[in-house]
Amino acid sequence: MTLRATLRLALAALVRNKARSLLTMLGIVIGVAAVIVTVAIGAGARISVQSSIDSLGSNLIVVQPGSVTTSGARSGFGGASTLTPADGMAIASLPGVASVSPVVTVRTQVVAGGNNWQTTVSGVAPTYTFVRLQSVASGRFFSQNEVASSAKVAVLGQTVVDQLFPNGGSPLGSTIIVKGAPFSVIGVMTPLGQSAMGQDQDDTVLIPYTSAMERLTGETTVNSLLVSAASSDDVDLAQQEITQLLEQRHRIVPPQGDDFQVRNLQSIAQAASQTSAVMEFLLAGVAAVSLLVGGIGIMNIMMVSVTERTREIGLRMAVGAPGRTILHQFLTESIVLATIGGFIGVAIGLAGTALVALLARWPTAVPFQWVVASVVFAALVGIFFGYAPARKAASLHPIEALRFE
């Protein structure tokens, strides 16, 4: 019997029992939909982590103060105040480094006219725009001279502009008050959107780090140094140079531990995407188990179906169907069911994914190979779990089958 004829027989039998067919494929539908949704969520998270880290620049190296031990109690990283602008300048002259910006952050209220807003004020150098791969949308960034003179100038993130200047006029030339000191607005940064951690990267005010140290923190140290390696291939090298240099400058001798920490975003990115790839596989594994359960459902209902259709099988055999053809018909039925179930599952999975993206605002991505893989897997489940019922049907004796009540 030809494949086409077998397929038509199977389809006719499935159509004849629509309700049971739907019930049989339900497990597969749910399983495949689960695979698609979990994979889409996992892959979406990975891609968004990767892309926001990419947007930070793969050359980026972050130097932070190390932990500090005060009477036996160790603070976390960043607890020590050991990094100075001078460390930054020394790092800037290393061969593997392109540029450096100190970062001094203060979380405080800023006021403009009748509006005020709690935001992060960061003291940085003009090199910041280069290191962060961020540009100025309007106005200009502050200059080296303004850093040298601790000028009271500020460049705003878009969120701060929206909050302090809700009427929509250009904030350029306006004055904002930070901790009692007036800063004149000279520029607005291009929006970056959310970071990988869900932070609003545009909720920021940038001022010269010298001004931040003098007027806001009153300290001689900085919170971190953002370093841009000369090339993305030299990130590891630059990281080593920075570590050596700072150990020298901070006079650290073994077994004393470093009072600073150097991390590069590339390795963080790799770790993050590896973690989420593992998660993705685990989730898909769980979903695959539900597919197997769906397969067992197919087997159960096909078994019942074979019993219910014993007389039909007997008749088909009596009018000339060999056992092999009966086997093929039932096997084809379960493969077709499982495959159709797979396609419906993909459709529902895609819809579910769209819903997750819409309602939970979660980034999603449906890798095409997973769509193909889950439909193929569903078909394989159909073959595997359809075999036993098909075998049972084919091994019936026509006389007994015809006599079956």
Partner 1 sequence: MHVLSVRDLRKRYVLGESAVQALDGIDLTLERGEFVAIMGPSGSGKSTFMQIAGMLDTPTSGEYLFEGADVSSLNADARAAIRSRRLGFVFQAYNLLPRTTALDNVELPMVYAGVPDAQRRQTALEKMTLVGVDRLADHHPNQMSGGQQQRVAIARALVNDPALILADEPTGALDTKTSADVMRILARLNEEQGSTIMLVTHEPDIAAYAGRIVTFRDGRIVADVRNDRRAA
Q: How far is the CB of 315 from partner 1 (least distance, A)?
A: 5
Q: Which of 220, 324, 372, 376 binds partner 1 (CB under 8 A)?
A: 324
- From the list 316, 339, 341, 385, which residue makes contact with partner 1 (rule: CB under 8 A)? 316
Q: What does the per-residue mask of binding to partner 1 show for 149-168, with x meaning CB under 8 A?
A: --------------------
Show contacts with partner 1 in window 46-75 (CB under 8 A). Answer: none
* Dist. CA 189–CA 198, nearest whole Å: 19
Beta carbon of residue 298, minimum distance to partner 1 (angstroms, whole number): 21
Q: How far is the CB of 394 from partner 1 (least distance, A)?
A: 10
Q: According to the binding rule CB under 8 A, does residue 318 interact with partner 1?
A: yes
> Cβ distance 344 to 29 under 8 Å?
yes
Among 62, 315, 350, 357, binds partner 1 (CB under 8 A): 315
**Minimum gap (Å) between residue 365 Cβ and partner 1:** 44
* Three-class DSSP labels, the chain: CCHHHHHHHHHHHHHHCHHHHHHHHHHHHHHHHHHHHHHHHHHHHHHHHHHHHHHHCCCEEEEEECCCEECCEECCCCCCCCCCHHHHHHHHCCCCEEEEEEEEEEEEEEEECCEEEEEEEEEECCCHHHHCCCCEEEECCCCHHHHHCCCCEEEECHHHHHHHCCCCCCCCCCEEEECCEEEEEEEEECCCCECCCCCECCCEEEEEHHHHHHHHHCCCCCCEEEEEECCHHHHHHHHHHHHHHHHHHCCCCCCCCCCEEEEEHHHHHHHHHHHHHHHHHHHHHHHHHHHHHHHHHHHHHHHHHHHHCHHHHHHHHHCCCCHHHHHHHHHHHHHHHHHHHHHHHHHHHHHHHHHHHHHCCCCCCCCHHHHHHHHHHHHHHHHHHHHHHHHHHHCCCHHHHHHCC
Give yes or no for residue 312 binding partner 1 (CB under 8 A). yes
Closest approach, Cβ 405 to partner 1, in A, equals 10
Candidates 67, 150, 300, 325; binder of partner 1 (CB under 8 A) is 325
Q: Which of 73, 319, 359, 369 binds partner 1 (CB under 8 A)?
A: 319
Q: Exactly one of 44, 57, 157, 314 binds partner 1 (CB under 8 A); which one?
A: 314
- In the complex with partner 1, the residue whose CB is nearer, 78 or 323, is 323
The residue count for binding partner 1 (CB under 8 A) is 23
The least distance separating partner 1 from the CB of residue 388, rounded to whole angstroms, comes to 20
Which of 276, 329 has the CB closer to partner 1?
329
* Residues contacting 294, CB < 8 A, separation 6+: 26, 27, 28, 29, 30, 31, 32, 338, 341, 378, 381
Q: Least separation, in Å, of the C-beta of 325 and partner 1?
A: 7
Residues 6+ apart with CB under 8 A from 75: 67, 68, 69
245 lies in the binding site for partner 1 (CB under 8 A): no
Judged by CB under 8 A, which stretch of 210-218, 230-238, 316-324, 370-378 contacts partner 1? 316-324
Spatial contact of 104 and 117, defined as CB atoms under 8 Å apart: no
Q: For partner 1, which is the closer residue by CB, 15 or 253?
A: 15
For the bound state, the minimum distance from the C-beta of residue 392 to partner 1, rounded and expressed in Å, comes to 16
146 sits near partner 1 (criterion: CB under 8 A): no
In the list 248, 311, 351, 360, the residue contacting partner 1 (rule: CB under 8 A) is 311
* Footprint of partner 1 on 374-403 (CB under 8 A): 398-399, 402
Closer by beta carbon to partner 1, 30 or else 301: 301
Q: Measure the CA–CA gap between 350 and 390, rounded to whole angstroms.
A: 32
Query: Between 13 and 42, how does the x/- string for binding to partner 1 read (CB under 8 A)?
Result: ---xx-------------------------
The β-bridge partners of 112 are: 115
Closer Cβ to partner 1, 237 or 402, answer by number:
402
Residue 304 in contact with partner 1, rule: CB under 8 A: no
**Least CB distance to partner 1 at residue 16 (A):** 5
CA 238 – CA 249 distance, rounded (Å) = 16
Determine, following the binding rule CB under 8 A, whether residue 321 of this chain makes contact with partner 1: yes
Interacting residues toward partner 1 by CB under 8 A: 1, 5, 9, 12, 16-17, 311-312, 314-325, 398-399, 402
